[in-house]
Chains A and B, each alone.
Chain A
Amino acid sequence: MTAPAARIPAVHTSAPAAHHYTTLGLDSRKVAIWAFIGSECMLFVSLISTYLIYKGRSVVGPFPHETWTDPATGRVLKPILNIPVTSASTFVLLMSSLFMVLALAAVQNKEKPKRTRGERILGNSKLWLWMTAIAGTTFLGFQAFEFTSFVHEGLTIRTNLFGSSFFTLTGFHGAHVTAGVLWLVTLLAIDYRRGLGSRDSLLVDIAALYWHFVDVIWIVIFTLVYLIK
């Protein structure tokens, strides 16, 4: 259902051109992002299922949690997963979710007066959007480091079943984080261009839902892939 364009005052150039509501009074864009997230759940569960089914079935190493000696060369390959590095990247992604909700709260409360320095910091949407984008980029940096070190240690997507399923799963997740960072950059561009106000909160809310979804998927991956041996 679309609101008549003629009813929207011309002065509201910063607001979306038309608002779409379902018969329940819910914004169609928010319904759409939840439906999209639901479908994304199924995508990631299929990738996780593939990883779990192939877990422990690789014929040759390197392996995620076990040492392996190459019978041809006698080379000993240590467990390939680097838990301290991944724990750090997990922490960064969790913090990015905090920054994202603070960005959303800042946009929603943009018009409220900020009396104290703390309120001004918490109400600075640009700061929290920047922090979220930086945290997302840092996570991607950790992932690039991990992938590079794996390749140097002899694990590629073609080495064994673990490599194929691991790189596919974490690679898809990394691609989603990359898309999220680009989305955040577009929000930042809007914020710098005309300022994000409470009327734009739905735009930020939708981006935030996507970002948190990427975070919850990582929560599952971190446990199933990295911690459970």
Chain B
Amino acid sequence: MDTHASSTNLSDSAEAGAPAPHEEEHAHPTWSTYWKVALILTLITVGEVWAYYIPSFVAGRGFVPTLLILSALKFTIVVMFYMHLKYDHRLFRVLFTGPLLIASLTLLALMFLFGHLYIKIM
């Protein structure tokens, strides 16, 4: 993906005596990249809805994993390119993925305890 320099953060911290803004986070995608990402997201969504209307596929074992993978792919694309996490400082990645990981593990635990992934422990 092509990038260009852009000023996300305000620039005059140095003159104000504060620490300089981090330079690592300034490369953002170009307009054409944004359009390509939108096209990919649309195609994935069309694929998901198409799959929903194929009875044999819905009845098969691959339906749910396929939809979950496609959804995760869309999620990742938006976070990486539209939310610029791919280009921003790694602290932002930690602030986002940390709670997301905890929440996801909690979801899995709850599904095992009370949901459709229920397993009898005792």
Residues of chain A touching chain B, judged by Cβ–Cβ distance below 8 Å, are 1-4, 7-8, 15-16, 18-27, 30-31, 34-35, 37-39, 41-42, 44-46, 48-49, 52-53, 55-56, 83, 87, 90-91, 94-95, 97-98, 100-102, 105, 108-109, 122, 198-199, 201-202, 205, 208-209, 212-213, 215-216, 219-220, 222-224, 227-229
Known: A38-B100, A227-B49. A49 touches B82 (CB 8 A): no
Docked CA distance A223–B65 (Å): 11
Bound Cα distance from A102 to B32, whole angstroms: 10
29 A–B pairs (Cβ distance < 8 Å), ordered by A: A1-B19, A2-B18, A3-B17, A16-B10, A21-B18, A25-B22, A31-B92, A41-B100, A42-B99, A49-B107, A53-B114, A53-B115, A94-B45, A97-B78, A98-B34, A98-B35, A98-B82, A101-B29, A101-B34, A108-B6, A109-B6, A198-B7, A202-B9, A213-B83, A215-B78, A219-B75, A220-B75, A223-B70, A228-B68
Which residues does chain B contribute within 8 Å of A25, judged by CB atoms? 13, 19-22
Q: Is B6's CB under 8 angstroms from A8's CB? A: no
Known: A18-B16, A94-B41. 13 other contacts (CB 8 A): A7-B15, A19-B10, A25-B20, A25-B21, A26-B25, A42-B102, A45-B107, A49-B106, A52-B111, A52-B116, A105-B34, A201-B6, A213-B83
A3 to B8, CA, bound (A): 18
Residue interface bits B69-100, CB-to-A below 8 A is 1, else 0: 01100110011001100000101100110111
Q: Write the nearest CB–CB distance from B118 to chain A, whole angstroms.
A: 10
Count contacts on B: residues with CB < 8 A to the other chain.
63
Shortest Cβ distance from A48 into B: residue: B107
Of residues 1 through 47 on chain B, the ones whose CB sits less than 8 Å from some CB of chain A are: 6-13, 15-22, 25, 28-31, 34-35, 37-38, 41-42, 45
Say yes or no: B34 contacts A102, CB within 8 Å: yes
- B113 smallest CB distance to A (angstroms): 9
> Given contacts A53-B111, A223-B68, are A212 and B79 in contact (CB under 8 A)?
yes
How many Å lie between the Cα of A22 and that of B13 in the bound state? 11
Q: Are B110 and A27 in contact (CB under 8 A)?
A: no
Tell whether, in the assembled complex, residue A201 and residue B8 are in contact, meaning their CB atoms are under 8 Å apart.
Answer: yes
Give bound CA distance, A18 to B34, whole Å. 31
